[in-house]
């Protein structure tokens, strides 16, 4: 019997992260979810993952705190032995027009969306190198590729993830570690709940609907499990929003 793969999903207690965790669990992976919330808040997510027949574990820490990340990743390896798949998914928005954007607003989004991917990947990749295999997926966004008024900080952080993805794909391809990015469009989650009138957005989407977290999860599962030869790609999953 082959050993079950273990996937670490950051920001995995809800939304897109949870949908990806569930998709990977259904495909036979065991799941470690991280989030900044406490264990009680993450319990429904863990229960849902376990209901798919997977083992599920929760680690609470801030993905942008380098020390906390190192400590927790070392603990994960000590307790579960391996991390085969890393999904850097945790992220926030703090939107505002650029002229009114203060340094705190800028730095916080860059730190939680981009520096976090440095911290977690740095801690995990050495174990993937020892295992001579791994798949890393960074949750970017269409706005990281195309920009969006009011999201200078967010789109810069998501563009940064694309650059990181392509560079790590080049540095680690020979080690059998693949690194890709997924770039969602407008997906129905807590993050987009405050968009207001969605009719305007729908007009811009050829498929005439917002995406679901499951739409993203299918592509994450493909990158994590169904291909051995795709690396360095930033895949838009946006119903044709930008063609």
Ligand X SMILES: NC(=O)c1ccc[n+]([C@@H]2O[C@H](COP(=O)([O-])OP(=O)(O)OC[C@H]3O[C@@H](n4cnc5c(N)ncnc54)[C@H](O)[C@@H]3O)[C@@H](O)[C@H]2O)c1
Q: List residues with catalytic annotation.
A: 154
At which residue do the structure tokens 């970017």 appear? 140
Residue 35 in contact with ligand X, rule: CB under 6 A: yes
Counting beta carbons within 10 angstroms of the beta carbon of residue 201, is it exposed (0 to 12), middle (13 to 18) or buried (19 or more)?
Answer: middle
Any contact of residue 89 with ligand X (CB under 6 A)?
Answer: yes
Q: Are 228 and 201 in contact, with CB atoms under 8 Å apart? A: no
Does the protein bind ligand X through residue 87 (CB under 6 A)?
A: no
Query: In this structure, what is the dihedral angle of CA atoms 113, 145, 193, 108, given to the nearest 10 degrees?
Result: 30
First to last CA, the chain: 44
Regarding 15 and contact with ligand X (CB under 6 A), the answer is: yes
Q: What are the φ and ψ backbone dihedral angles of 145, each rounded to 5 degrees?
A: -95, -30
- Kindly tell me which of 134 and 185 has the beta carbon lying closer to ligand X: 185
CA distances from 159 to 155, 181, 191, 203, 224 (A): 6, 10, 18, 25, 21
Q: How many angstroms separate the CA atoms of 176 and 179, rounded? A: 10
Q: Per rule CB under 6 A, is residue 145 in the interface with ligand X?
A: no
Give the shortest CB-175-to-ligand X separation in angstroms: 26
Phi–psi pair at 112, nearest 5 degrees: -80, -30
Give the nearest distance from C-beta 21 to ligand X in angstroms: 11
- Minimal distance in Å, beta carbon 35 to ligand X? 5
Q: How far is the CB of 68 from ligand X (least distance, A)?
A: 9
**Counting contacts by CB under 6 A, is residue 59 touching ligand X?**
no
Q: Segment near ligand X (CB under 6 A), from 100-108, 118-126, 129-137, 187-195? A: 187-195
Q: Is 101 in the site for ligand X (CB under 6 A)?
A: no
Q: Does 141 bind ligand X (CB under 6 A)?
A: yes
Interface with ligand X includes 205 (CB under 6 A)? Answer: no
**Which residues is 7 bridged to in the sheet?**
31, 85
Q: Say whether residue 36 binds ligand X (CB under 6 A).
A: yes
Q: Where on the chain is the footprint of ligand X (CB under 6 A)?
A: 10-11, 13-17, 34-37, 62-64, 89-92, 112, 139, 141, 184, 186-187, 189-192
């Amino acid at each position: 019997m082959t050993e079950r793969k273990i996937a670490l999903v950051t920001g995995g207690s809800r939304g897109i992260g949870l949908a990806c965790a569930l998709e990977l669990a259904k495909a036979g992976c065991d799941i470690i979810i991280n989030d900044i919330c406490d264990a009680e808040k993450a319990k429904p997510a863990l229960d849902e993952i376990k209901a798919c027949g997977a083992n599920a574990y929760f680690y609470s820490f801030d993905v942008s705190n380098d020390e906390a990340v190192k400590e927790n990743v070392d603990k994960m390896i000590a307790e579960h032995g391996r991390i085969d798949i890393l999904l850097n998914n945790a992220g926030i928005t703090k939107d505002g027009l650029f002229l009114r954007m203060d340094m705190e607003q800028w730095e916080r989004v860059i730190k939680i969306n981009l520096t976090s991917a440095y911290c977690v990947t740095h801690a995990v990749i050495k174990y993937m190198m020892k295992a001579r295999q791994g798949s890393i997926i960074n949750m970017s966004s269409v706005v990281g590729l195309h920009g969006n008024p009011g999201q200078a900080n967010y789109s810069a952080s998501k563009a940064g993830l694309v650059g990181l993805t392509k560079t790590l794909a080049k540095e680690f391809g020979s080690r059998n570690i693949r690194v890709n990015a997924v770039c969602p469009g407008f997906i129905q989650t807590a993050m987009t709940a405050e968009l207001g009138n969605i009719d305007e957005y729908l007009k811009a989407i050829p498929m005439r609907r917002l995406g679901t977290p499951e739409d993203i999860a299918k592509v994450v599962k493909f990158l994590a499990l169904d291909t051995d030869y795709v690396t360095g790609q930033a895949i838009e999953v946006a119903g044709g929003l930008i063609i």
